[in-house]
Amino acid sequence: MYIASQTRYQSMKYNRLGNSGLKLPGVSLGLWHNFGDTACMDNMKALCTTAFDNGITHFDLANNYGPKPGSAEKNFGIILKEELGVYRDELIISTKAGYEMWDGPYGNWGSRKYLLASLDQSLQRMGLDYVDIFYHHRMDADTPLEETMGALSQAVTSGKALYAGLSNYDGQTLKEAEKILRELHCPFVINQNRYSIFDRKIEENGLKDMAVELKKGIIAFSPLAQGMLTDRYLHGIPADSRVKTDGRFLKESSLTKEKLSKIERLNELAGKRGQTLAQMALSWVLKDGAVTSVLVGASRPSQILDNIKALENTSFTEEELKIIDRITQE
């Protein structure tokens, strides 16, 4: 039987989500990859217990995480039942709905029917009475924003979620959604968006500045750019890499000679800072306090331990920031 480390809270840094009462660890564990039906249960358990033993209290899922869709939630439910469930009140568990989950017109996007039905299914798969955060996973231009936000509010009012979140929204839609949720007295606290040294869309579409203005938290997914901002591709593309074995999220065509050169130069800067490339990439996302937490995936427990070390130094000199910008913008 798993017993959590008694020192699990001694070194992790926790950051407040905007002006809410909720805090998240600086590094959170995402179950987007490596928790589906093709993964090894013993390894999944090791990833989750290693995370929790080192102060990672937040586990992030979505209804469609797999493969197949739903399997990550199902497997996490097993881990809760057999290992982590006794610590439920120390955990932040989040899930989402917004992408295609089942056939027909009611299994996708942002209708009230889809979101609330999906939440019920997610809770059943995980064996939970509630999740801590329930997100709408992507904007839906064909559903009135009032309907989608009303569904998030109902999820909270029903007790099936404690907080509401938005994922993959832009700054203007965030502003409109926040107004509706505020009028509904719904505790909307967090935005989840892709953000990395290589992907700065949330700066370009106004999301980052708007979240700060509205005093809402941000959690960044893909902060390592699907593994590009690690030492994985410093010496070419390994035969067992996700690019070769999966290819759904990171294409081999993305790893051009120019991109690999940028990765090498960023790695050199990270070495001068006393960090691995992955650690520097995570530190960069957290550098100005606008981002509350970074979501990391892992295939081995050692990767989690390496990523946590990024929290030891999230400060950059002006010269370092200029070098990073120069490398990425060339």
Could you tell me the pTM of the whole model?
Answer: 0.94
From residue 278, alpha-carbon distances to 108, 146, 250, 263, 321 in Å are 34, 40, 17, 11, 16
Q: Which domains does the chain have, with CATH numbers?
A: 14-329 (3.20.20.100)
Sign of the Cα pseudo-torsion (10, 16, 21, 27, in order): negative
Closest of 146, 185, 187, 140 to residue 167, by C-alpha: 140
Residue 205 CB-half CA count within 13 A = 16
Sign of the Cα pseudo-torsion (233, 48, 221, 37, in order): positive
Question: What number of other Cβ atoms are within 10 A of residue 98's Cβ?
Answer: 24
Q: Contact 297/62 with Cβ under 8 angstroms?
A: no
Question: What number of other Cβ atoms are within 10 A of residue 103's Cβ?
Answer: 8
What DSSP designation does 34 have?
S
Beta carbons within 8 Å of 122's beta carbon, 6+ residues apart: 61, 63, 73, 95, 97, 131
Question: What number of other Cβ atoms are within 10 A of residue 181's Cβ?
Answer: 21
CA distance 57 to 267: 29
DSSP-derived secondary structure for 175-193: HHHHHHHHHTT--EEEEEE
pLDDT at residue number 233: 78
For residue 185, the cross-strand partners are: none
Report which residue type is found at 46. Answer: A
What DSSP designation does 24 have?
E
Taking only Cα atoms into account, the Rg of the chain, rounded to an integer number of angstroms, comes to 19
> 288 is written with which tokens?
């100005």
For residue 15, the cross-strand partners are: 24
Closest of 177, 160, 180, 159 to residue 168, by C-alpha: 177
Place of tokens 């913008």: 329
pLDDT at residue number 257: 86
Place of tokens 């832009």: 170
For residue 296, the cross-strand partners are: 29
CA distance 201 to 232: 24
Per-residue pLDDT tens digits of the chain, which is 330 residues long: 899 999 999 999 999 999 999 999 999 999 999 999 999 999 999 999 999 999 999 999 999 999 999 999 999 999 999 999 999 999 999 999 999 999 999 999 999 999 999 999 999 999 999 999 999 999 999 999 999 999 999 999 999 999 999 999 999 999 999 999 999 999 999 999 999 999 999 999 999 999 999 999 999 999 999 899 998 878 666 655 555 445 555 666 667 889 989 999 999 999 999 999 999 999 999 999 999 999 999 999 999 999 999 999 999 999 999 999 999 998
pLDDT at residue number 330: 85
